[in-house]
Structure 1
Amino acid sequence: MKKLLYLLLFIFVVSCATNKKYASSLESPNEQNKFEFDLNESGQLFYTVNHGDLQFITKSALGFELKTKSLKQGFEILASETRSNDSEWTTVWGQSEKVRDHYNELTIHLKQSKTGLLLDVVARAYDDGVAFRYVFPKQNNLADFIIVDELTEFTFADDYKAWWNFADYDNYEKVYYNSPISAVGDSLNFERRPDKEERANMANTPTTIEVNDKLVISIHEADLTDYAGMNLLNTHNGVQLKAHLTPWKNCDLVRAKAPFQTPWRTIQISENAGGLVESDLIMNLNPPVAYENTDWIETYKYIGIWWELHIGKTAWAEKTQFGKPISHPHGATTENAKKHIDFAAKHGVPDVLIEGWDKGWDNMEGSWTGYGIFDWKTSTDDFDIKEVCRYGKEKGVRMMMYHETISDIDHYEPAMDELYQMCSDLGIKTVKMGYTGDVNYDYDTKTYKQHHHGQYMVRHYKKMVQTAAKYKLMIVNHEPIKFTGEQRTYPNLMAREGVRGQEYNAWSKGNSPEHGVVLPFTRILGGPIDYTPGIFKMFLPEKPWSKDTFRVRSTICKQLAYYLTMYSPMPMAADLPENYEGVPAFQFIKDVPTDWSNSKVLHAKIGDYYTVVRQERGTDNWYLGSITDENARVLSTDLSFLAKGKKYEATIYADGKGADWKTNPEVVEIKKMQVTSESKMDLVLAAGGGQAIQFKLIK
């Protein structure tokens, strides 16, 4: 009898061990978003995502192919862990002062039976989305390794409507399209630039998807600091997008050493498009600020020698530009810089950006590439950098340094300490860097070494901003890797272009009126944009090298509203100083703040219209920006965001009578009225137009 009892007890213990259950799902704090893991019979891990009762991402694979091993299947679950977090952190600058970081987390610990390799997958569920990342623990049988494929899938329940642009390993400056998911990257029906590396059947992230009238999601990544940028491949396997990483030149995707963790794969979730804009998911998934002291970091507006270069009034170079003689004068002269400094001092603008001040522009050949041709320390013959900085200091204005690296990282990166020390010595606060051209291009061999969006350059951008911080410099990047929320960790990284920006209006067919009402729900979800708004002269000078007519496809009021809708803590007043002088609408650019304590989206429909209000940090003053596409609109708006029981003076900058982006874009009507939180108003937007309002507390 005793032996029988021992036998039954042994069977019970073995049965419990064999059938041990592990947590496999988690819900957001509000119980609306659900993330669930599933391990199939072959030991491959999958996941699904629900919002409420709707499973909009169905069974989707996870895993990797390494150069020497497959991490696709054969896994067993060793254990699982759950935890929750509800905390609050303060931004150094941003769209909000306080950010709540509230989530539930599940970690699945996996072991591949055949190889003994260990892999963890960590998932988090927030009220505004879900995210997951892979973690390679330290282990004896996996030291250095190379990823040759990430198997992550996003398989959708239906062919929802997507907003996307073509992926490109080197450039994010793209037109956005909308189509069913099944047509993402369809180069037969959407215009793809054949002269560039725009990838057929592949989209950049963020890619935003309208599931239905009450659910909008966006797929992106967070904390991209030592990995390859993720693109989305249309597999044409139903409605499925798959992670496709930007490679090193030898086709490695990621070079790593355990312990190692990937960026987060993020899915922002909202019941309306405005909720995506208000989401803090991407920033919350980045580490806290890396600096003990951030008092030296500030936000402000700037002007510069920039737009005149793009419209052809002046040139970057002195004699030859892009391999051809130039007929227009060099822009970055000491005299021209002082004129800009005088304007900035008169209107209270702290910085003047100066492009084309250094040696090297004359040496550039037919494209923005080169190897060792720039001298970032030496001024051109007609520009005295010490005199310009001295004159600026006398006027209370700084020079904003511009470094066009032309992606010559082999020469730029070793020089960064010396260059940034030079900036600090000159009293310069911000450096804007351009990364045009192929990475480390060599004219002799006609080859380039790396892609802009691969792991090599991701590492460079991190090293660059960390080095700049040693000299208390702030950074604005052009032609960069995409933003993935790292401004939380490195708040001296103020803005990144990475978008088809204002300059395209100066020398291409331009940006459509729709473009501006797509960007807040796509590109800007990753982080601040350097769109260079504020153009007042919409009809541009004729170009001697072209028969085409170039112009800006917006009204002046839409340009004003961009200071709210195209979020940046360091926006430019991009037009020529003479186009602002004596123009009443310029007052809004002077008044609009650059740092906010609260932001709310009042109206939002992707590609159609967008209205946002922001509260100036440290005050009760609010500002409103509203923009539309090519269609005129009237948007009824209540002002309940204003402080209750208080009166405000509203200064309204509206499209004037007969305004239209095509025929009459520069007419502005300015009026004032008293309002309270109980007031309502109609925002009347012209075709391609906008409206900007200052709500100033009456004390």
Structure 2
Amino acid sequence: MIGMAQTVSSPNGNVTVKFSLTNDGQPTYEMEYKGKTVCKPSHLGLELAKDKHASKGMQETDLMKGFKETGHKTSTFDETWKPVWGETATIRNHYNEMEVSLNQPSSKRNIKIRFRVYDYGMGLRYEFPQQEELNYFVIKEEHTQFAMADNHTAYWIPGDYDTQEYEYQITPLTGIKDIIRRDREKYKSNSSTTVFSDTGVQTSLQMKTKDGLYINIHEAACLDYPTMHLNLDEKTLTFESWLTPDAVGMKGFIQTPFNTPWRTVLVSDDARDMLSCKLTLNLNEPCKIEDTSWIHPTKYCGVWWDMIVGRKSWSYTNDYPSVRLGETDYSKCKPNGTHGATTAEVKRYIDFAAKNGLQEVLVEGWNIGWEDWFGHQKLDVFDFVTPYPDFDIKELNEYAHSKGVKLMMHHETSASAINYERHLEDAFKLMNKYGYDAVKTGYVGDIIPRGEYHYSQIMNNHYQRVVEEAAKHHIMVNAHEATRPTGICRTWPNLVGNESARGTEYEAFGGSVPYHTVMLPFTRLQGGPMDYTPGIFETKLSEWSQNQSFVHSTLCGQLSLYLVMYSPLQMAADLPEHYEKYDDAFQFIRDVACDWDDSKYIEAEPAKYITVARKAKGTDNWFVGGKTGEEARNAVVKLDFLDKGKKYECTIYQDAADADYEKNPKAYRITKRTVKRGDVLKIREARGGGFAVSIMAKK
């Protein structure tokens, strides 16, 4: 080794990270948890590309090896911060840090590698000070390694530059390749897919070791940088970072000073820590919005599920094979009779929301252009301000506000980011004019013009630009088909939700495996909340439509998702008439909060089960949700989180004895009892089922 190895441990000593240089000067780290290996010696470095704008004759030098250590320092940091919304009222950010300064004599370049070590994991990043010999540079590839100690069980989806809308696979590390090769053709059924390797996977990657360690690899604060995937070397069981390229194959265009995103490793011998520890959020910067009073957790319903299932359409007419903004005269065409976003239909949803305490109503398909919106090389798809003739935007907003409800805007871009940016200011001004305070954005399809990927540096910068511009207009953003989140919602809390995974809509496209929703909190939700759109009660779609698919969950399993799938933005996704049929079960959706003072993960095992209790913000009321996967089970909920000396009115919504997600999904029973601290609830969960409990403090 060149120089001495440097070591930093977590505040409680459970996690230790050691840094050293190899004999040829390559940065290397290793990581342990309670004396067990988490990462074997793993190399760090970046491979640079020749910048075509650089002076002729200049050769690029990789930042891979040939380094000497010029200094290091350690420090401790401990703060408690308050999120604008979240699972808890406060979050502790306590870590020990090591900063290592390196110089590459051959190029006269300096870099720093920073490690932050928590009791439950660590983050590392590369830092590039501004300097004469490293000003502008192009990343060909980042070579951050995560060398695993054994052939762990992995819970994974294939590496893809454009989508995360996959079901999770559960295999040994060495089983990844066979599944990707087997399913490669099936992956193409999505509207935009780019699977790049037979051994590539996406983060957040969850693993479990044979001796009971849970390990999770992800990233935090991915800003002005491409999204990171992982590629496995089966021989060494080493994952290496694999960045999303741009249209010409380059990974990142950098100007110093610059810090990369954090590369994170979460570790514990308790699966519940995977869900409760806030490593990703803590590695992001504090909130940059001075006045956050306009940001509010929201329950909503909307004109959406009828179109997803296929009974109604987003488009207004079938008369035209194509339409042009500013030229097509909709007043002269025949309505198709299936358009969902009509004034009368939206009023029906507004009435339902007002009656049941839902704050907002999403309306998709309200604006002109849906007739040929998808699958074309069409830059000018939507203008985001012009409604269809049967959608009276002024009347509907006045009607909604008179009922104490707001409308939620929908901006589907058809992946034409250039077009959206061109219209963004006018679109947000229209929202301000009519009192909209939240927008659901969408990026369905290949990015237009063709060549960029959804997770590239340029597109990540676009999504961030939308969030920051929305903040200026006091607008909350719920981004669909965008890149997966990496904790940026701490810094920009108007980013209240993302999709970036396989959501409820897929239950209308053939369904998702029952364990899907007890996998997502261990993976996708590591970076931020998901707009999963739960709450489907009429789970057999053929009973009310021509769709032959069914929801792979019991009715009570759907109720559980309002707790298990944490989000400050929760949709009652089914149709109003379906909720009216099961009004007693819908009471839980009326009651449940979506902002919390405290959260307790009671039981957890990836892809098996999750049970969580949450205390509603500013109240003494608790809600408990439990979800199971492929197997029925008995949940045990110890009410030791309740206040001493208080009595609570407890309502339990649970699967009936004969409930089953395939055979009898709507069988449920509701029981009430008085409970106190120390009581124990034993609740049966059906196959693919779950339960929900409201625990209201007695006055």
CA deviation profile, 1:25-84 (whole Å, cap 9, x unmatched): 100001010111110110111110100111121011100111122111100000001110
Cα distance, 1:370 vs structure 2 = 3.3
Matched residue SS, 1:382:
coil
Query: Which residue identity does 1:305 align to in structure 2?
Result: V
Matched residue SS, 1:298:
coil
Matched residue SS, 1:580:
helix
Instruction: Return the alpha-carbon distance in structure 2 between the equivalents of residues 243 and 320 of structure 1.
Output: 47
Gaps of 5+ in 2: 50-59, 323-333
Instruction: Return the alpha-carbon distance in structure 1 between the equivalents of residues 169 and 318 of structure 2.
Output: 37
Among 298, 301, 306, the alignment partner of 1:300 is 298
Cα distance, 1:429 vs structure 2 = 1.1
C-alpha distance 185-577 of structure 1, shift in aligned 2 (>3 A): farther
Do the aligned partners of 1:43 and 1:76 also contact (CA within 8 Å) in 2? yes
Question: What does 1:538-553 correspond to in 2, within 5 Å?
Answer: 538-541=539-542, 549-553=548-552
Say if 2:228 is the partner of 1:225.
no
Say if 2:35 is the partner of 1:53.
yes
Instruction: Return the alpha-carbon distance in structure 2 between the equivalents of residues 94 and 118 of structure 1.
Output: 39
Matched residue SS, 1:252:
coil
Matched residue SS, 2:298:
coil
Instruction: Return the alpha-carbon distance in structure 2 between the equivalents of residues 346 and 503 of structure 1.
Output: 26
Matching residue of 1:455: 457
Query: Which residue identity does 1:502 align to in structure 2?
Result: T
Instruction: Return the alpha-carbon distance in structure 2 between the equivalents of residues 257 and 549 of structure 1.
Output: 53
Say if 2:407 is the partner of 1:399.
yes
Say if 2:351 is the partner of 1:351.
no
Matching residue of 2:328: none
Do the aligned partners of 2:383 and 2:423 also contact (CA within 8 Å) in 1? no
Do the aligned partners of 1:312 and 1:328 also contact (CA within 8 Å) in 2? no
Query: Which residue identity does 1:337 align to in structure 2?
Result: V
Do the aligned partners of 2:303 and 2:341 also contact (CA within 8 Å) in 1? yes
Do the aligned partners of 2:629 and 2:689 also contact (CA within 8 Å) in 1? yes
Say if 2:331 is the partner of 1:333.
no
Cα distance, 1:368 vs structure 2 = 7.4
Question: What does 1:53-452 correspond to in 2, within 5 Å?
Answer: 53-67=35-49, 68-187=60-179, 190-192=182-184, 193-195=186-188, 196-199=193-196, 200-320=198-318, 329-364=338-373, 367=375, 370-441=378-449, 448-452=450-454
Do the aligned partners of 2:2 and 2:23 also contact (CA within 8 Å) in 1? no
Deviates more, 1:508-517 or 1:177-186: 177-186
Percent identical among aligned pairs is 39
Instruction: Return the alpha-carbon distance in structure 1 between the equivalents of residues 137 and 637 of structure 2.
Output: 56
Matching residue of 1:6: none
Matching residue of 2:21: 39
Query: Which residue identity does 1:24 align to in structure 2?
Result: Q
Question: What does 1:481-520 correspond to in 2, within 5 Å?
Answer: 481-506=483-508, 508-520=509-521
Cα distance, 1:551 vs structure 2 = 0.7
Instruction: Return the alpha-carbon distance in structure 2 between the equivalents of residues 362 and 653 of structure 1.
Output: 43
Cα distance, 1:327 vs structure 2 = 6.8
Instruction: Return the alpha-carbon distance in structure 2 between the equivalents of residues 218 and 660 of structure 1.
Output: 32
Instruction: Return the alpha-carbon distance in structure 1 between the equivalents of residues 412 and 337 of structure 2.
Output: 21
C-alpha distance 60-381 of structure 1, shift in aligned 2 (>3 A): same
C-alpha distance 105-585 of structure 1, shift in aligned 2 (>3 A): same
Matched residue SS, 2:535:
coil
Cα distance, 1:189 vs structure 2 = 6.1
CA deviation profile, 1:321-379 (whole Å, cap 9, x unmatched): 996999761000111111111111111211100000001101235x3763212121100
Instruction: Return the alpha-carbon distance in structure 2 between the equivalents of residues 106 and 601 of structure 1.
Output: 31
Deviates more, 1:316-325 or 1:165-174: 316-325
Say if 2:626 is the partner of 1:629.
no
Cα distance, 1:182 vs structure 2 = 2.4
Matching residue of 1:557: 556
Instruction: Return the alpha-carbon distance in structure 2 between the equivalents of residues 78 and 632 of structure 1.
Output: 58
C-alpha distance 460-375 of structure 1, shift in aligned 2 (>3 A): same
Deviates more, 1:209-218 or 1:98-107: 209-218
Do the aligned partners of 1:282 and 1:526 also contact (CA within 8 Å) in 2? yes
Instruction: Return the alpha-carbon distance in structure 2 between the equivalents of residues 335 and 152 of structure 1.
Output: 55
C-alpha distance 642-368 of structure 1, shift in aligned 2 (>3 A): farther
Cα distance, 1:186 vs structure 2 = 3.7
Matched residue SS, 2:496:
strand
Do the aligned partners of 1:22 and 1:79 also contact (CA within 8 Å) in 2? no
Larger Rg: 1
C-alpha distance 114-21 of structure 1, shift in aligned 2 (>3 A): closer
Instruction: Return the alpha-carbon distance in structure 1 between the equivalents of residues 544 and 237 of structure 2.
Output: 45
Instruction: Return the alpha-carbon distance in structure 1 between the equivalents of residues 526 and 30 of structure 2.
Output: 23
Do the aligned partners of 2:2 and 2:25 also contact (CA within 8 Å) in 1? no
C-alpha distance 368-585 of structure 1, shift in aligned 2 (>3 A): farther
Cα distance, 1:480 vs structure 2 = 1.1
Instruction: Return the alpha-carbon distance in structure 2 between the equivalents of residues 321 and 523 of structure 1.
Output: 41
Instruction: Return the alpha-carbon distance in structure 2 between the equivalents of residues 615 and 343 of structure 1.
Output: 27
Cα distance, 1:198 vs structure 2 = 2.1
Query: Which residue identity does 1:285 align to in structure 2?
Result: L
Query: Which residue identity does 1:693 align to in structure 2?
Result: V
Kindly report the root-mean-square deviation, in angstroms, between the aligned alpha carbons of the 2 structures: 1.9
Matching residue of 1:469: 471
Do the aligned partners of 1:369 and 1:436 also contact (CA within 8 Å) in 2? no
Query: Which residue identity does 2:520 align to in structure 1?
Result: L
Query: Which residue identity does 2:469 align to in structure 1?
Result: T
CA deviation profile, 1:363-412 (whole Å, cap 9, x unmatched): 235x3763212121100121111111111111111110000011111111
C-alpha distance 636-298 of structure 1, shift in aligned 2 (>3 A): same
Matched residue SS, 1:330:
coil
Instruction: Return the alpha-carbon distance in structure 1 between the equivalents of residues 622 and 357 of structure 2.
Output: 21
Matching residue of 1:652: 652
Matching residue of 1:610: 610
Cα distance, 1:185 vs structure 2 = 4.6
Between the two proteins, the alignment pairs up a number of residues equal to: 671
C-alpha distance 222-97 of structure 1, shift in aligned 2 (>3 A): same
C-alpha distance 518-399 of structure 1, shift in aligned 2 (>3 A): same
Do the aligned partners of 1:353 and 1:400 also contact (CA within 8 Å) in 2? yes
Matching residue of 2:52: none
Matched residue SS, 1:111:
strand
Instruction: Return the alpha-carbon distance in structure 1 between the equivalents of residues 90 and 180 of structure 2.
Output: 46
Matched residue SS, 2:183:
coil
Query: Which residue identity does 2:609 align to in structure 1?
Result: Y
Matching residue of 2:54: none
Do the aligned partners of 1:368 and 1:406 also contact (CA within 8 Å) in 2? no
Do the aligned partners of 1:321 and 1:364 also contact (CA within 8 Å) in 2? no
Matching residue of 1:532: 533
Do the aligned partners of 2:381 and 2:414 also contact (CA within 8 Å) in 1? no
Query: Which residue identity does 1:255 align to in structure 2?
Result: F
Q: TM-score, normalized by length of structure 2? A: 0.93
Matched residue SS, 1:456:
helix
Instruction: Return the alpha-carbon distance in structure 2 between the equivalents of residues 573 and 319 of structure 1.
Output: 28
Instruction: Return the alpha-carbon distance in structure 2 between the equivalents of residues 219 and 629 of structure 1.
Output: 23
Gaps of 5+ in 1: 1-18, 442-447
Do the aligned partners of 1:185 and 1:234 also contact (CA within 8 Å) in 2? no
Query: Which residue identity does 2:195 align to in structure 1?
Result: E
C-alpha distance 156-328 of structure 1, shift in aligned 2 (>3 A): farther
Matching residue of 1:669: 669
